[in-house]
C-alpha cells in the first residue's frame, strides 16, 4: 500500500481543520512507522472514504507524538473558545432593549377631581386629565397626526357638510367586560342634549340629530354645516348599561363620577381621601390590558393633588411626586438643571393679548391711539423678560402654520418713533417737561390715563409691568388692577368690567375664531372680550366655520386678519408654551404641541419605564 493514497485522502479531510491539527496529521503520514499496528490501521482507509471511521479515530492518540497531542488539544481548546466567543458576541450584538410592561408614574397637579365624567369634565382640568385616560371618543386628537378615528372605525361626511356617519369598531369593551356598541354613543349624546343633566357641553350639540343607522353605525345630522364639528367627536362615550340606570337629576351625585368605567387605556383602581376634610389626596389608575389598540406599557399612573403651584413645587422637590402636570415658569427654573427631570414645553393654541373695551373707556375709541399703543409694545422684550423666552411673539389671532396664516401681512411691529407720531396725530400731545400726554375733549383737558386689568398670576403680572413701562415711554399712563383668579370670571369677564384686559384665549382642536371675534359673542357667555363688531369680519367668520372647502376657509381667515389689524380691537402679544415636568425614567415621551393640557397624555400608550431584551 502506498502512503500517498491515504495521504491525499487525509489532506482532503484535514484541509478543513485548524492549521495545527492539519500539521499533526501530515507529520504522521510523512514519517510512518510501518511496524506500528495503530499506524497501519489509521493508514488502512478505504479508497471510497474521505473521512476516517470511528474505529480509526480511537487509535489517534497512539499515532500522535506528545508535542502533536499538545498542539491538537490547544487547537481544539482554541476552536471551542472561538466558537463560544463568536456565540457570545452574536448574543450581545443581536439583543436589544425593548419596552416592557411595568412601573408606576406619580404625577402631581393643582386642583382635585370632582366629576370624572365627559358630560362635565371640561370645566375642571383635573377631571379632564383623568377622563382622557379612562374614556374614549369616536375620534381622538394626536398633536403629531391631528384628528384620528378611535371608537369609530371610519366616518363619512355628506357633500353638503350636514351629515356625519360613523362606523363603529366592534372589538372595544368596557372596563367591566361589557361590549361597547351603538347604544352607548346614542345614550351619551342624547344625555348631553337632555337639560336635566345640565351638561355644559349641551350648547355644542344643540339642534344636532343623533340616529342609529344599524347595529354598528350612527349618524349625526346638523341644521347647517359646521367645519369644527368633527373635533367635538373627541368627547368621551359613557356606558349606557351603567348610566342608563341613574336618573338624570342624580347624574352629578353618583359615585360613578369618581369610580368611572370607560373604554380607555387606563381604568380606575382606587382613590385615597383625607380623613378630616374628605378631599381626595391621591387617585390611581391601572393599565387596561384589554384595550382595543396597543395597551400601555406603564402599569400604574397615580395622581396627587395640591392646593397651589407652590405646594406642587415643594412636593416635587421633596420627591413626593415624580412629575408635575403644570408649573409656572418662575418655579420651573428651579428644576432646569436637575438630572432627575425632563422639562417639556409644548406650544398651545393660545394667545395672550390686551383687549380694549371702548364702552368702559371712551378714549380707546380712536383707532390711531389703539395703533399707537400697539406700536409702542416691544413683544420681544416681553417674551424675553416675562416668559424667559418660552413663548413666541404674535400679532393676529391666527397661529403660525395653521389655517389662515398670512405671511404677507404688514404687522404692527415695535416702532417707538411711529408710536409717538401716531399719538400726536390722534391729538394726544406731550407738553414740555410732562410725562403724560393730554388732549382737549369737549372743552376739557384729559390726560391719557387708562386702567389695565390683569389676573394676579406671576407671568401675566410681569407682562403687565413691562407694558406699563413701554406705554409710559410714549406718554401714556397705565394703572394696573390685579384680579383674584377666583373672581376673574364673575367680577370681570362676565360683566365686561374693564377698560383694558390682559388675558389669554385658548382655541380648540379646530382654530375656529367665531366664538372670540364675532359680534354675536359680545355679551356673556360669549368670549368676544374686545366687544368687537364689524359686519365684514362677521361674514368672513361665519363663512369660515360653515364651508367644507379648506381653501375657502383659508382665504376667509386671511381677509379677516387684514380687517383685524386695520381696526386693532386688541393687541395680540404672544403664544405661550406649556411647562410639563416628567421624570427621566419615562422613555419615549415627546411633545411639540398640545391643544388642551390633557393632550400631554395623547401618546401615553407608547411611554415606558421597564425594558426587556429581545433578539433583533
One domain, residues 483 and 359: yes
Asked if residue 99 is part of any domain, the answer here is no
Q: Read off the pLDDT of residues 160-209 as tens digits, 9 standing for 90 and up.
A: 999 999 999 999 999 999 999 999 999 999 999 999 999 988 888 999 99
Q: Of 603, 574, 568, 602, which is closest to residue 587 (Cα–Cα)?
A: 603
Q: Read off the pLDDT of residues 401-456 as tens digits, 9 standing for 90 and up.
A: 888 888 889 999 999 999 999 999 999 999 888 999 999 998 889 999 999 999 99
Whole-number pLDDT of residue 16: 45
One domain, residues 192 and 336: yes
One domain, residues 320 and 355: no
CB 373 within 8 A of CB 367: no
Q: How confident is the model at residue 57 (pLDDT cuts 50, 70, 90)?
A: low
Percent residues over pLDDT 70 in the chain: 90
One domain, residues 453 and 545: yes
- b/e string for 312-339 if b means 16 or more Cβ within 10 A? bbebbeeeebbbbbbbebebbeebeeee
Whole-number pLDDT of residue 37: 54
One domain, residues 488 and 585: no
One domain, residues 40 and 62: yes
pLDDT of 4 above 70: no
One domain, residues 399 and 495: yes
Helix %, strand %, coil % of the chain (to 5) = 35, 20, 40
Average pLDDT taken over every residue of the chain: 89
Whole-number pLDDT of residue 312: 95
Q: For residues 258-271, give the mean pLDDT.
A: 98
Range of the domain at 77: 4-93
Cell of 123: 370645566
One domain, residues 124 and 36: no
Q: Of 541, 536, 565, 564, which is closest to residue 553 (Cα–Cα)?
A: 541
pLDDT of 35 above 60: no
Q: Read off the pLDDT of residues 519-558 as tens digits, 9 standing for 90 and up.
A: 999 998 889 999 999 999 999 999 999 988 889 999 999 9
Q: Read off the pLDDT of residues 485-514 as tens digits, 9 standing for 90 and up.
A: 889 989 999 999 999 999 999 888 888 999
Given 46, 69, 93, which residue is the final one in a domain? 93
Point out which residues pair with 500 in neighbouring strands: 356, 452
Q: How confident is the model at residue 83 (pLDDT cuts 50, 70, 90)?
A: confident
Q: For residues 248-261, give the mean pLDDT.
A: 96
Whole-number pLDDT of residue 17: 46
Q: For residues 28-56, give the mean pLDDT.
A: 54
Percent residues over pLDDT 90 in the chain: 71
Whole-number pLDDT of residue 282: 97
Whole-number pLDDT of residue 214: 96
Query: Between 383 and 18, whose confidence is greater?
Result: 383
Whole-number pLDDT of residue 6: 46
Domain count, the chain: 3
One domain, residues 454 and 507: yes
* Alpha carbon distance 220, 557 (integer Å): 27
Q: For residues 470-476, give the mean pLDDT.
A: 97
One domain, residues 83 and 108: no
Whole-number pLDDT of residue 54: 67
Q: Of 350, 387, 394, 353, which is closest to residue 370 (Cα–Cα)?
A: 353
Amino acid at each position: 500500500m502506498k502512503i500517498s493514497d491515504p495521504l491525499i485522502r487525509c489532506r482532503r479531510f484535514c484541509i478543513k481543520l485548524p492549521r495545527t491539527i492539519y500539521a499533526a496529521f501530515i507529520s504522521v503520514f510523512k514519517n510512518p512507522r510501518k511496524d506500528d499496528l495503530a499506524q497501519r490501521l489509521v493508514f488502512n482507509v478505504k479508497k471510497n472514504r474521505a473521512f476516517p471511521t470511528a474505529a480509526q479515530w480511537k487509535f489517534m492518540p497512539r499515532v500522535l507524538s506528545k508535542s502533536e497531542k499538545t498542539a491538537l488539544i490547544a487547537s481544539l481548546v482554541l476552536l471551542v473558545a472561538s466558537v463560544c466567543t463568536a456565540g457570545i458576541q452574536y448574543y450581545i450584538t443581536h439583543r436589544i432593549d425593548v419596552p416592557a410592561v411595568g412601573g408606576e408614574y406619580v404625577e402631581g397637579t393643582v386642583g382635585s377631581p370632582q366629576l370624572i365624567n365627559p358630560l362635565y369634565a371640561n370645566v375642571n382640568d383635573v377631571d379632564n386629565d383623568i377622563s382622557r385616560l379612562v374614556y374614549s371618543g369616536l375620534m381622538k386628537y394626536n398633536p403629531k397626526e391631528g384628528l384620528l378615528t378611535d371608537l369609530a372605525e371610519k366616518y363619512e361626511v355628506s357633500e353638503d357638510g350636514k351629515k356625519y356617519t360613523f362606523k363603529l369598531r366592534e372589538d372595544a369593551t368596557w372596563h367591566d367586560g361589557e361590549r361597547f356598541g351603538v347604544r352607548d354613543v346614542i345614550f351619551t349624546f342624547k344625555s348631553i342634549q337632555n337639560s336635566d343633566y345640565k351638561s355644559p357641553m349641551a350648547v355644542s350639540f344643540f339642534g344636532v340629530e343623533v340616529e342609529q343607522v344599524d347595529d354598528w353605525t350612527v349618524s349625526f345630522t346638523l341644521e347647517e354645516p359646521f367645519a369644527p364639528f368633527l373635533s367635538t367627536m373627541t368627547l368621551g362615550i359613557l356606558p349606557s348599561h351603567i348610566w342608563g340606570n341613574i336618573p338624570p337629576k342624580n347624574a352629578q351625585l353618583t359615585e360613578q363620577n369618581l369610580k368611572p368605567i370607560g373604554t380607555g387605556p387606563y381604568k380606575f383602581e382606587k382613590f385615597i381621601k383625607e380623613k378630616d376634610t374628605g378631599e381626595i389626596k391621591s387617585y390611581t389608575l391601572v393599565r387596561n390590558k384589554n384595550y382595543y389598540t396597543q395597551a400601555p406599557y406603564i402599569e400604574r399612573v397615580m395622581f396627587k393633588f395640591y392646593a397651589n403651584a407652590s405646594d406642587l413645587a415643594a412636593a416635587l422637590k421633596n420627591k413626593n411626586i415624580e412629575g408635575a402636570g403644570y408649573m409656572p415658569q418662575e418655579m420651573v427654573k428651579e428644576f432646569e438643571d436637575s438630572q432627575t427631570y425632563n422639562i417639556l414645553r409644548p406650544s398651545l393654541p393660545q394667545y395672550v393679548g390686551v383687549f380694549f373695551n371702548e364702552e368702559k373707556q371712551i378714549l380707546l375709541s380712536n383707532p390711531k391711539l389703539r395703533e399707537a399703543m400697539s406700536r409702542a409694545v416691544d413683544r420681544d422684550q416681553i417674551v424675553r423678560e416675562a416668559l424667559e423666552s418660552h413663548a413666541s411673539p404674535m400679532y393676529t389671532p391666527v397661529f403660525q402654520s395653521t389655517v389662515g396664516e398670512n405671511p404677507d401681512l404688514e404687522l404692527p411691529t415695535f416702532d417707538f418713533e411711529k408710536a409717538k407720531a401716531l399719538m400726536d396725530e390722534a391729538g394726544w400731545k406731550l407738553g414740555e417737561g410732562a410725562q403724560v400726554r393730554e388732549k382737549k375733549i369737549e372743552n376739557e383737558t384729559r390726560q391719557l390715563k387708562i386702567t389695565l386689568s390683569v389676573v394676579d398670576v406671576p407671568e401675566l403680572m410681569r407682562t403687565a409691568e413691562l407694558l406699563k413701562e413701554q406705554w409710559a415711554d410714549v406718554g401714556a399712563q397705565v394703572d394696573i388692577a390685579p384680579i383674584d383668579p377666583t373672581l376673574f370670571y364673575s367680577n370681570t369677564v362676565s360683566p365686561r368690567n374693564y377698560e383694558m384686559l390682559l388675558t389669554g384665549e385658548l382655541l380648540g382642536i379646530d382654530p375656529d375664531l367665531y366664538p372670540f371675534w364675532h359680534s354675536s359673542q359680545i355679551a356673556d357667555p360669549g368670549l368676544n372680550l374686545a366687544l368687537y363688531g364689524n359686519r365684514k369680519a362677521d361674514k368672513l367668520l361665519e363663512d369660515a366655520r360653515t364651508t367644507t372647502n379648506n381653501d375657502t376657509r383659508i382665504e376667509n381667515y386671511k381677509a379677516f386678519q387684514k380687517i383685524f389689524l386695520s381696526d386693532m380691537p386688541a393687541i395680540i402679544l404672544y403664544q405661550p408654551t406649556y411647562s410639563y415636568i416628567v421624570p427621566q425614567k419615562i422613555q419615549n415621551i415627546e411633545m411639540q404641541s398640545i391643544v388642551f393640557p390633557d393632550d400631554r397624555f395623547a401618546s401615553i400608550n407608547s411611554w415606558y419605564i421597564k425594558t426587556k431584551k429581545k433578539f433583533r
